[in-house]
Amino acid sequence: MKHLYFAAGFLGATAAWADTPELTVYTYDSFVSDWGPGPQVEEAFEAVCNCDLNLVGIEDGAALLARIKLEGASSDADVVLGLDTNLVTAAKETGLFAEHSVSADYDLPIDWADPVFVPYDWGYFAFVHNADMAAPESLKALADSDTKILIQDPRSSTPGLGLLMWVKAAYGDEAPAIWEGLADNVVTVTKGWSEAYGLFLEGEADMVLSYTTSPAYHLIAEEDDSKAAAPFAEGHYMQVEVAGKLAGSDQPELADQFLQFMVTDAFQSIIPTTNWMYPAVTAEGGLPDGFDTLVTPAKSLLLSPDEAAAARDGALAEWLDALSQ
């Protein structure tokens, strides 16, 4: 394909072609995949920006940040999309990000006023199970039960780290006791979300760590209402996914334009049924049918980026201790 573009460039070179500015956005791989939001977002933004949107997919959020650190100030990226609050402080510490100029009326369960990062979607972590099962009603009850669960490794997976923060946010210093209780529930720990979810669908465990929005996929895309997310009494930890502009961008205006576009209906309406998360700003027509059936946690838990960064290493040590017994 590339060659065709080059050929087109040489043969039919016009001033307009050559001058089309390019905006490079680094994001995680599932965003750019044919089944993610990427293709639609690219089309929608290119329709208004008179530019070429170049989406680059790099594994997951943690890999994305590692890549930005590796490339440093000479990065080709103009925008990074796909970090979450657990990574925000580390991202800011690189000094590679610039403040944004976006204003929006967010539909988040929490207040958001970060000068550097703009949220584009969010969700609640939850344990997903087959709807016909009587699920435990809290983390504590789960720890005391003999319900079998699949979780992801916090060292290699975003949801895995999310669960660490969930237990920490709900139980603070008593987190190790909860983990000790959970240890015998854990069937196994996988590298990433896909392995765990795949094993759950094969029936390897009663529940899998995922999102409250997961049943929406099965309901909307597969017309299958056999999956449910268990509401937990302690509340549910949130994942807020954000994007930010790099200070070294050679297209700062275009980057601003993209971030502002990100919180408009054109972008936000794509999110629910491609990324299977809640949009940061609900689009005009509301959420797609099926999202109304999802559980709404009584309480939203979220450590601030600084708290999350401070808690991370200690929480990991507690987790390793409890599960390595």
Partner 1 sequence: MAGRAQPVSAWPGIGAAGFLALLILGTLLAVALRAEAGSGLGRADWAAIRFTLIQATLSGMFSVLLAIPVARALARRRFTGRRVLIALLGVPFILPVIIAVLGLLEVFGRAGWVSTGLGALGFDPIRVYGLHGVVLAHVFLNLPLATRLILQGWQEVPAERFRLAAQLGCDGRAMFWLIEWPMLRRILPGCFAVVFAICLTSFAVALTLGGGPKATTIELAIYQAFRFDFDLGRAALLSVVQLVLTIIAAALALWLSTGTGFGKGLDREVRRWDGATGFARACDGAWIAAAALFLMMPLAAIVLSGLPRFIALPPAVWMAAITSLLVAGMSTVLLLSLALPMAFAIARGGRGIVELAGLLGLAASPLVIGTGLFIVIRSVQADPFALALPVTALVNAIMALPFALRILVPSARDVVERYGKMGLSLRMSGAPFVRLVLLPRMRAQIGFAAGLAMALSMGDLGVITLFADPDIATLPLQIYRLMGAYRLDDAAAASLLLLVLSIGVFWVLDRGGRRHAEA
Residues that bind partner 1 (CB under 8 A): 1-2, 29-30, 32-36, 38, 54-59, 62-63, 65-66, 69-71, 74, 90, 148, 153-156, 186-191, 193-195, 197-199, 201-205, 214, 217-218, 221, 276, 316, 319-320, 323-324
Q: Half-sphere exposure (CA, 13 Å, Cβ side) for 91?
A: 31
Residue with smaller CB distance to partner 1, 298 or 317: 317
C-alpha span between 293 and 32 (Å, rounded): 28
Q: How far is the CB of 159 from partner 1 (least distance, A)?
A: 12
23 CB neighbour count, 10 Å cutoff: 23
The string over 65-98, giving b where at least 16 C-beta atoms fall within 10 Å of a residue's C-beta and e elsewhere, is bebbeeeeeebebbbbbbbbbbbbbbbbeeebbb
Residue with smaller CB distance to partner 1, 124 or 193: 193
Residue with smaller CB distance to partner 1, 100 or 142: 142
C-alpha span between 1 and 23 (Å, rounded): 19
Q: How far is the CB of 323 from partner 1 (least distance, A)?
A: 5
Q: How far is the CB of 63 from partner 1 (least distance, A)?
A: 6
Q: How far is the CB of 10 from partner 1 (least distance, A)?
A: 16
Q: Which of 127, 261, 271 is nearest to 185 (CA)?
A: 127
Q: Read off the tokens for 292.
A: 């109304």
Residue with smaller CB distance to partner 1, 152 or 269: 152
Query: What angle (nearest 5°) sits at the alpha carbon of residue 73, between those of residues 246 and 96?
Result: 40
Q: How far is the CB of 288 from partner 1 (least distance, A)?
A: 15
Residue with smaller CB distance to partner 1, 62 or 242: 62
**Distant-in-sequence, close-in-space partners of 269: CB < 8 Å, separation ≥ 6:** 279, 283, 284, 285
Q: How far is the CB of 254 from partner 1 (least distance, A)?
A: 18
C-alpha span between 80 and 99 (Å, rounded): 13
Residue with smaller CB distance to partner 1, 106 or 214: 214
